[in-house]
Amino acid sequence: MKTFEKVIILDFGGGYTQLIARRVRELQVYCEIMPYNISFDDLLRAKPSALIFSGGTASIYTDNAPRCDSRLYTLNIPVLGICYGMQLMTLDLGGTVIRADIEECGNTALSVLEGKEGIFTGLDKEFYARISCGDRVAKAPPGFKILLQSKNIMVGIGDDSRKFYGLQLHPEVFCTRQGDIVLKNFLEKICHFSGNWTMGNFVKNSIAEIKEKAGADGSAVCGLSGGIDSSVAAMLAHRALGERLTCIFVDNGLLRKGEKEYVLTTFRERFKMEIVAVDAADEFLKLLRGVTDPEQKRKIIGNHFIRVFEREAEKLGAIDFLVQGTLYPDIIESSTATGDVIKSHHNVGGLPEDMRFSLIEPLKYLFKDEVRRVALELGLPEEIVFRHPFPGPGLAVRVLGEVTREKLAILREADHIVVEEIKKAGLYRDIWQAFAVLPDIFSVGVKGDRRTYAHTIVLRAVASRDGMTADWYPIPYEVLGIISNRLVNEIPEVNRFVYDLTSKPPSTIEWE
């Protein structure tokens, strides 16, 4: 198995740690985020080839300010400290850090002092950037030079012999061209990485790992929903295990129009995968009868999914492994989350730990955009690769109030029209999610000569990078007009159409 060059980002509590990780991976270097207080032995086991200390919200001088094991500096590998990480490194290595004056934070003119090839090569000689407020370096540690400077502040320092660098740039700057250059220089010129984290390498590696884990005759089961995560996880496992993998597709009666047929045809006929399709719509709808509370709906669906899945897996006889499409953000968030649960997320990844299978989670170190790239590498159709996310509880969280067959049928049609028109208008790929909601509101209208008292359809369309925050998407009026006409003309039970213009926060993307 190939080993990847690996950067470990130690997370000191900065809000942009994931963003740094994504930038590093975009530069084709594998990286993982670990908590700042990870034990030295665990860190050694992870075999880092370089370290990045993230920013953080604490002042280095507060009690309990996060600190790291000082043996990290003896590993003989490059270290880049960003903001808090720079201050920590300065303090640890014998420099001084003081509180900054308020005047010089925010957008500031910077000059590059470094001449030869190094971490700041290629930057404009002078440029403006947002530098972070708070603490700053007053005296660089012995052996360090000042490489980047504003009028009064050391913004970049470095010790070329030990390959230690510190950067007082606001982490958002890492999205800008100058920030990207610094990161690229660090990986290429300082760490001398070749950039071997490609999706092709990932696929080869992942298949080899699954083979090794499953041994010569281990068998596996996978819940396949047709969503990109479970599809990619299943495809990788199928490449590794062939017929020793069985997928289970549960039709819970809450799927979109044509979804079941599409998923089954694609994976069975095109990829020759073994799939058990379970028609459990009646069971789910019966359990949802009379239920109006969104959280209760989610719980019922999540719990029953597990029951159906276990029942079907049982029928397969002895199975050793469960393949899941868990992604890296799920893992990072569940290990660091402190906030309240806003909505309980059910997905196929929510199966109980006491199931008797061992887990195979081939995507657990990938971000969503990387999963898409792997999917293309595996030859999954674009229809699946670029499909908008669809929640585990399906249409049940888009039918407000009680879920009934009739309401589901109306919503399915409406959703189909919405998505079809958005695709026709060429907007689908630009939008994170677009879908119809049935708010269970009746209003008076007139169709032909007749008074109607019928349903309203809501259109929800948002732009987002990761679903954590989102902006409402400005669909052109002409497209809205076409959708509106089609909804009221083609669906007899609908006489009104409205457009949801709220962002997240304060709204969530789904209505329930």
Please provide the DSSP assignment of 172-202 as one string: GGGGSHHHHHHHHHIIIIIS-------HHHH
* Burial profile 268-291: b = 16 or more Cβ within 10 angstroms, e = fewer: eeebebbbeebebbebbbebbeeb
CB 408 to ligand XMP: min, Å: 17
CB 381 to ligand XMP: min, Å: 21
First to last CA, the chain: 44
- Nearest to residue 324, comparing CAs of 233, 442, 428? 233
Helix (H) or strand (E) segment spanning residue 86: helix 84-92
Residue 357 φ/ψ, nearest 5 degrees: -95, 155
**Any catalytic annotation for residue 83?**
yes
Please count the other Cβ atoms lying within 10 Å of the Cβ belonging to residue 264: 18
CB 231 to ligand XMP: min, Å: 14
Report the SS3 class of residue 355. coil
Please count the other Cβ atoms lying within 10 Å of the Cβ belonging to residue 337: 9
Residue 470 structure tokens: 């989102």
- Closest CB to ligand XMP among residues 13, 467: 467
* Cβ(347)–Cβ(233) below 8 Å: no
CB 247 to ligand XMP: min, Å: 17
CB 227 to ligand XMP: min, Å: 7
Active-site position among 31, 68, 83, 222: 83
Active-site position among 26, 32, 114, 172: 172
CB 511 to ligand XMP: min, Å: 8
Q: Give the bridge partners for 445, in sequence order.
A: 452
Preceding amide of 506 cis, omega within 30:
yes
CB 462 to ligand XMP: min, Å: 8
3-state helix, strand, coil in the chain (%, to 5): 40, 25, 40
**Any catalytic annotation for residue 172?**
yes
- Closest CB to ligand XMP among residues 260, 504: 504
- Closest CB to ligand XMP among residues 21, 348: 348
**Any catalytic annotation for residue 370?**
no
Helix (H) or strand (E) segment spanning residue 278: strand 275-279
Active-site position among 170, 238, 304, 455: 170
CB 343 to ligand XMP: min, Å: 5
- Closest CB to ligand XMP among residues 373, 398: 398
- Closest CB to ligand XMP among residues 356, 465: 465
- Closest CB to ligand XMP among residues 204, 345: 345
- Closest CB to ligand XMP among residues 5, 510: 510
- Closest CB to ligand XMP among residues 18, 132: 18
Give me the helix-helix angle, 199-214 and 228-241, nearest 10°: 60
**Residues 397, 409: Cα–Cα separation, whole Å:** 14
Amino acid at 503: S
Q: Which residues contact 136 (CB under 8 A, 6 or more apart)?
A: 87, 97, 98, 99, 100, 153, 154, 168
Please count the other Cβ atoms lying within 10 Å of the Cβ belonging to residue 394: 21
CB 507 to ligand XMP: min, Å: 8
Report the SS3 class of residue 135. strand
Q: Return the DSSP state at 101.
A: P
* Cβ(152)–Cβ(179) below 8 Å: no
Rg, the chain, Cα only: 26
Report the SS3 class of residue 254. coil
Residue numbers of the site for ligand XMP (CB under 6 A)? 298, 343, 345-347, 389, 391-393, 433, 467, 504, 508-510
Say which residue the tokens 């396949």 belong to.
Answer: 224
- Closest CB to ligand XMP among residues 347, 495: 347
Residue 306, phi-psi category: left (phi > 0), alpha (psi -120 to 50), beta (remainder) = alpha
By annotation, the residues acting in catalysis are: 83, 170, 172
